[in-house]
Amino acid sequence: MKYAILVYETEQDFANRELHMPAYNAYSQALAEAGVAAGGAALHPSHTGTTIRLHNGQRNVQDGPYADTKEQLGGFFIIDVPDLDVALDWASRCPAASNCAVEVRPLLPMQA
């Protein structure tokens, strides 16, 4: 089953991202070597995002973060593992688990 490991970081973590990259590179390599890596990416800070909503057929575009929070989605890993327990084990090894937050969420299969 595929799971998303969602990495939440603070603004300070984003500012010091280069300091954390060796740990994330090692984590990514461990996922790949275990054969469970199925995708993922780091994201730019939330202020670079754009949110769109349709209201009565009209586009409403909002620049910057949608919500004002202490932590923001900083990236994600997609893993393919047998069950939630294994996904949680991998999530606990993510560098952000020690100082921020990591969410594990199962992926819905895409209809072809």
Q: How far apart are CA 99 and CA 79, in angstroms?
A: 22
2-100 to CATH, choices 3.30.200.210, 3.30.70.1060, 3.30.390.50, 3.55.40.20: 3.30.70.1060
Q: What is the predicted pLDDT for the residue at 68?
A: 66
pTM here is 0.87
**Which one, of 31, 34, 41, 30, lies nearest residue 6 by Cα?**
41
Beta bridge partners of 42: 75
Q: What is the predicted pLDDT for the residue at 46?
A: 84
Q: DSSP assignment, residue 97?
A: G
**Which one, of 30, 47, 23, 31, lies nearest residue 99 by Cα?**
23
**pLDDT tens digits, one per residue of 58-79:** 999 988 766 667 788 999 999 9
For the chain, the domains span: 2-100
**pLDDT tens digits, one per residue of 5-58:** 999 988 888 888 888 899 999 999 999 999 999 999 999 888 888 888 899 999
